Amino acid sequence: MNETPRWLTPAEQRAWRSFVRMQQKLQGRLSRRLQADSGLSEADYTVLVELTDAPDGRRRFLDLAKAVEWEKSRMSHHITRMTKRGLVTRVECPEDGRGAFVVITPAGHEAIRAAAPLHVEAVREMFLDHVTPAELDMLGHLCERVVDRLDAPSHPAEQVESGA
Amino acid sequence: MNETPRWLTPAEQRAWRSFVRMQQKLQGRLSRRLQADSGLSEADYTVLVELTDAPDGRRRFLDLAKAVEWEKSRMSHHITRMTKRGLVTRVECPEDGRGAFVVITPAGHEAIRAAAPLHVEAVREMFLDHVTPAELDMLGHLCERVVDRLDAPSHPAEQVESGA
């Protein structure tokens, strides 16, 4: 940090704090509901969604960690726990040197198939029902833009992190 | 769940997934930057902000957990760790039966004072610099509305959780 910090304006501070508070509330409520309805943690659901979306229900361990921005150690511990519960398996790939795959199991497919409609209903009740179509459209575009910038390798934040 | 699930429309699904992805990316990046810049975890920062905002830098343990939607066990473990690092203290209140206070220490004040400008800069770089004033205004209002609904005791989500 070589520069004077650009402090937030009152409007920026108000919006950012509301956004942080909403994330806390929504994540807390949705994860408790998911656990109560389906016996899955938010982390379980996150991993199962990523694998369900991937070809053949499998992703490289490191790609999976990067996609959801978890530290490797966190992903490793979590995959170990999910493996013990039969929701995913690890498949080693010694021939190409690019590391193991994580693969969703039939039990994992069944778990997310059963959880999804209940989770969707909770997302509606807690969030979507209170957002207008115009707001949702704006939010979607805003989120895509921010994700694109965070994923861009030339983003200043990435450079700082690489050097940290 | 007695009803057929109201599945998401393509527009809803796209926006919701972008929002989930952005939360993952932004939380992951901001928390790594915070740790690298200031030696604080996202959880530390969350607790310190809540205490800094409270009168006399203190909040009831249960109010603190509720404000950020953490399970009591998670908050208890985290406050124990922060106490060992000297960032907060617990003050028991045997006379009123309403439970202990968590209080920020001078070292806790110093930690957040040092971390805040770096965190604000990261929030700008990773998020605010990519959001227009109109979008930010809309986002703030949307978030306040959703938080108000989640905090309202008559919200259906609350009833389901209470019965779970």
Looking at residue B164, its pLDDT comes to 34
Section B120-146 average pLDDT: 96
Q: How many A/B residue pairs have CB atoms within 8 Å? A: 189
Q: What percent of chain A has pLDDT over 90?
A: 82
Tokens at residue A12, please? 């920026």
C-alpha distances (whole Å) from A78 to each of A87, A103, B15, B150 are 11, 14, 27, 29
Res. B27: pLDDT tops 70: yes
User: Coil, strand or helix: which one is A51?
Assistant: helix
Closest residue in B to A127 (Cα–Cα): B146
Looking at residue B162, its pLDDT comes to 41
Buried b (16+ CB within 10 A) or exposed e, A126-136: bbbebbeeebb
Chain A CB within 8 Å of residue B138 CB:
yes
Least confident segment among A48-57, B133-142, B146-155: B146-155
Closest residue in A to B163 (Cα–Cα): A36
The answer to whether B5 contacts A120, with C-beta atoms less than 8 Å apart, is yes
Section B16-38 average pLDDT: 96
Chain A residues within an 8 Å CB radius of B121: 1, 3, 5-6
CATH class entry, domain A29-130? mainly alpha
Reported as a single tens digit per residue, the pLDDT across A38-49 is: 999 999 999 999
Chain B residues within an 8 Å CB radius of A153: none
Chain A CB within 8 Å of residue B25 CB:
yes
Looking at residue B126, its pLDDT comes to 96
Sign of CA dihedral B150, B153, B155, B160: positive
- pLDDT confidence bin for B4, thresholds 50/70/90: confident
Looking at residue B116, its pLDDT comes to 95
Q: Please, which residues 66-85 of chain A have a Cβ atom closer than 8 Å to chain B?
A: 68-70
Reported as a single tens digit per residue, the pLDDT across A18-36 is: 999 999 999 999 999 999 9
Looking at residue B154, its pLDDT comes to 62
C-alpha distances (whole Å) from A19 to each of A123, B35, B44, B127 are 16, 21, 18, 11
Res. B2: pLDDT tops 60: no
Chain B residues within an 8 Å CB radius of A147: 18, 21-22, 25
Q: Indicate the burial class of B3 (C-beta count within 10 angstroms; 0-12, 13-18, 19 or more).
A: exposed
Q: What is the mean pLDDT of chain A?
A: 90
The neighbour count for residue B73, using CB atoms within 10 Å, is 9
pTM of the entire predicted model? 0.87
Q: Which amino acid is at B69?
A: E
Backbone φ and ψ of A56, nearest 5°: 60, 15
